[in-house]
Amino acid sequence: MERKQKENGVAAMAVCYQGFDPAAYLQYNYTAPRADFGRNDSIVPWKLACLHRAFTEGDVSGELLVDIGSGPTLYQVLSGCEVFKKVLLTDFLEVNRQELRRWVQDEKGCNLDWTPYLQHVCKLEGRRPSAWTEKAAKLREVITDIVPIDVHRPHPLAPDALPSAGADCLVSCFCLESVSPDLAAFTRALGHIGGLLRPRGHLLLIGALGESYYFGGPGVKIPVVPLNEAQVCASLKESGFTLIRLEVYTLSQDMRVGVDDVTGVFFAKARKD
């Protein structure tokens, strides 16, 4: 594909994101039924279980965890914050970085109460749910910064954002497929974020299967490149990762709430070659 065409596709995606509404997005995806801690078939408990297992099964270690395309959410680092001394959050939009900063600085005005998430992950860790206040303090302690990122750039972060050795682990949830105009761009973006990771470092990747659009706010319809499992595996391999495990969640009818056309969610644990 011509360079101009690639740039046009990526630029068009950036325009789509100008209407992104963190509060609405959190409401759509991070409240019941998708985030129902009383149901073990709800999507968010499934995601938290995948992340807990992946962070605690003994092969993931190091100093620095980077969350790629954090959006306005924190759930993706609730297990990792117990394993890494430093956690770097990143997003393309200032409105999302502000949402994250409000929570980190314990300010009023957060658009979601993360307490049930903190309590749930404490339970996964065998701790009493009331330890959620300690987990919240731990997370606030290890988050070193909240910085801009663009996964379509060969160097997605500012030059001084990471130590020269790179990150020890990356986590990224629902970002790459939602910001890429096509499969080739998704695969290139995987390669770009792989460049942020030290050799043999781990990537924990959560994403949507079969999704062609989602609403990032009322009337803000954002195109998504629809992926299947085989394409995810092929893109990981092509961008220099060895797949360790792939898990798939298929959405039941009541999890399809009209905010997107996603059919499944994948969780991939991979290691950079």
Ligand X SMILES: Nc1ncnc2c1ncn2[C@@H]1O[C@@H](CSCCNC[C@@H]2Cc3ccc([N+](=O)[O-])cc3CN2)[C@@H](O)[C@H]1O
Q: Which is nearer to ligand X, 242 or 250 (CB)?
A: 250
Write the Ramachandran bin of 68: left for phi over 0, alpha for psi from -120 to 50, otherwise beta: beta
Does position 21 interact with ligand X (CB under 6 A)? The reply is: no
| Number of residues counted as binding ligand X (CB under 6 A) | 25
- List the structure tokens of 254: 């009541």
Alpha carbon distance 148, 161 (integer Å)? 10
Amino acid of residue 241? F
User: Is 239 a binder of ligand X (CB under 6 A)?
Assistant: no
| Neighbouring C-alpha atoms within 13 Å toward the C-beta of 90 | 22
Question: 169-193: buried (b, 16+ CB within 10 Å) or exposed (e) per residue?
Answer: bbbbbbbbbbbbbeeebbbbbbebb
Judge if the upstream peptide bond of residue 33 is cis by omega within 30 degrees of 0. Answer: yes
**According to CB under 6 A, which one of 262, 266, 268, 269 is a site residue for ligand X?**
262
Nearer to ligand X, 37 or 127 (CB): 37
The reply to whether 89 sits near ligand X by the rule CB under 6 A is: no
Please identify, among the stretches 54-62, 101-109, 116-124, 149-157, the one whose residues bind ligand X according to the rule CB under 6 A. 149-157
* Span of 125-133, 162-170, 237-245, 258-266 interacting with ligand X by CB under 6 A: 258-266
Among 87-95, 134-142, 160-168, 197-205, the segment contacting ligand X (CB under 6 A)? 87-95
Q: Are 263 and 207 in contact (CB under 8 A)?
A: no
Decide whether 161 or 208 has the Cβ nearer to ligand X. Answer: 208
Q: Near ligand X by CB under 6 A, which window of 108-116, 133-141, 227-235, 259-267?
A: 259-267
51 binds ligand X (CB under 6 A): no
Phi then psi for residue 129, to 5 deg, are -55, -30
CA 50 to chain centre: 13
Residue where the block lists tokens 């929570």: 103
Binding of residue 268 to ligand X (CB under 6 A):
no
Question: Which residue type sits at 41?
Answer: D
The encoded tokens of residue 116 equal 């049930």
**152-211: contacts with ligand X (CB under 6 A):** 152, 174-175, 178-179, 208, 211
Q: How far is the CB of 91 from ligand X (least distance, A)?
A: 5
Q: Do 86 and 142 contact (CB within 8 A), yes or no?
A: yes
Could you tell me the two tokens for 262? 């996603």
Which of 24, 34, 167, 267: binder of ligand X (CB under 6 A)? Answer: 34
Q: Which of 55, 75, 84, 92 binds ligand X (CB under 6 A)?
A: 92
In the complex, which residues of this chain contact ligand X (CB under 6 A)? 17, 20, 29, 34, 43, 69, 71, 91-93, 96, 149-152, 174-175, 178-179, 208, 211, 214, 260, 262, 265
